[in-house]
Amino acid sequence: MANLKEIRTRITSVNSTRKITSAMKMVAAAKLRKAQDAITQMRPYADKLHEILDHVMSSAENFEDNAYTQERNAEKVLIIVIASNKGLCGAFNANSVKKAEELIKNEYQKLFEQGKIDIYTLGKTINETFKAKHVNVKESHSDIYNDLNFKTVSGLAEKVMKQFAAKEYDRVHIVYNKFKNAAVQIPQAEQFLPIKLSENEESFEGDYIYEPAKDQIVEQLIPYALKIQLYKAVLDSYAAEHGARMTAMHKATDNATELLKELKLTYNKARQAAITNEILEIVGGAEALNN
C-alpha cells in the first residue's frame, strides 16, 4: 500500500485536475450556446436556398454549361477536412480523419496511391495526424477560426471554386462533424463540386415569373449557394467541437470525482492502519516494561 504522503500528493493532483476540467466544461458550455444558435439559424436558410437552387437549375436550359456543374472524370480530387485548432474534445478530430480516410478508401483509393488526392485542413490538430499517415496536406486554413464569419469562409470557397473552374480539381468534397446535440456529432462527407441536383426533388406547384431570366439567376445563385454550403459546414463543425469538448470535460470531471473518492478511502484506510500499528507498538512496549 502506498504511504500517506504519496496518497496526499495524488489527491492534491487529482483535485487540481478536476478544477481545471470543470472550468473547461463551463467555458465550452458557454461557447456551445453561441455556436448552437448560429448553426440552428443557418440551417433553415441554407436548406431553403438549396431547394430554390435545385428548382431553378432543374428548369433552366443551360445549367449544365455552368462551370460549377460540369461532371468530369475524377483524375484529381480535393478534400476539405474541417476539425478544430485545439484538442481535449474526445474523438472529435479523430472522427474527421477517419471519415476522410473512409471516403478515400471507398472512392479514390487508386488516386490516393497515385498521389492525386490533395487535402485542405481547417484545424491545426489534424495536420500532424495526416502527415503521420503520409497524406498530402497541401494547405492549412486554421486561421479561419481566428475570425469566424461568412466573409473569411467565403474567401476559401472562392479559391476552391476558381481551382475547380480552372480544372485543377475534378471533384471537391467536404468532410466535417455535423452537430446534433452536445453529446452526438455525426461525421459527414458531402460533395462540394460539381453541384448535383437533389435526387428526391419535389416539383414546385404554380406558374412563376422570373426576373431576371433563369439562366442569369443560376449564374448568380450558384456561387453564393456554394459559399453558404461551406460556411454551414464550418458552423456545424464549430458547434460540434464545443459540444464534444463539453461532454469530454464533463466525463473527465466525473472520473476525477470518482478517483478522489477512491483515493480518500485508500488514504483513510492507510491512516487507520498506521494508527493501529502505533497503538499496538505502544501496548507491546508497555507490556514488555511490566514484565
Average pLDDT over residues 77-105: 93
Average pLDDT over residues 286-291: 74
| pLDDT value at 202 more than 70 | no
pLDDT given for residue 28 in this prediction: 94
| pLDDT value at 133 more than 60 | yes
| pLDDT value at 115 more than 80 | yes
Topology of the domain comprising 22-249: Pyruvate Kinase; Chain: A, domain 1 (3.40.1380)
List active site positions. 89
| pLDDT value at 42 more than 60 | yes
230-240 pLDDT, tens per residue? 999 999 999 99
Closest CA relative to residue 75, chosen from 175, 171, 187: 171
Of 91-95, 244-248, 283-287, which gets the smallest average pLDDT?
283-287
| pLDDT value at 62 more than 90 | no
Model pTM? Answer: 0.87
Query: In the structure, what pLDDT confidence band is assigned to residue 135 with cuts at 50, 70 and 90?
Result: confident
For the chain, what is the HEC assignment?
A: CCCHHHHHHHHHHHHHHHHHHHHHHHHHHHHHHHHHHHHHHHHHHHHHHHHHHHHHHHHCCCHHHCCCCCCCCCCCEEEEEECCCCCCCCCHHHHHHHHHHHHHHHHCHHHHHCCCEEEEEECCHHHHHHHHCCCCEEEECHHHHHHCCHHHHHHHHHHHHHHHHCCCCCEEEEEEEEEEECCEEEEEEEEEECCCCCCCCCCCCCCCCCCCCHHHHHHHHHHHHHHHHHHHHHHHHHHHHHHHHHHHHHHHHHHHHHHHHHHHHHHHHHHHHHHHHHHHHHHHHHHHHHC
| pLDDT value at 61 more than 70 | no
Query: In the structure, what pLDDT confidence band is assigned to residue 2 with cuts at 50, 70 and 90?
Result: low
251-283 pLDDT, tens per residue? 999 999 999 999 999 999 888 888 888 888 887
pLDDT given for residue 213 in this prediction: 75
Of 96-100, 144-148, 196-200, which gets the smallest average pLDDT?
196-200
Query: In the structure, what pLDDT confidence band is assigned to residue 207 with cuts at 50, 70 and 90?
Result: low
| pLDDT value at 132 more than 90 | no
Average pLDDT over residues 34-51: 92
149-191 pLDDT, tens per residue? 999 999 999 999 999 999 999 999 999 999 999 889 999 999 9
pLDDT given for residue 245 in this prediction: 95
Of 36-45, 54-63, 122-131, 201-210, which gets the smallest average pLDDT?
201-210
Task: Give the residue with greater pLDDT, 202 vs 61.
Answer: 61
Task: Give the residue with greater pLDDT, 128 vs 96.
Answer: 96
Average pLDDT over residues 245-250: 95
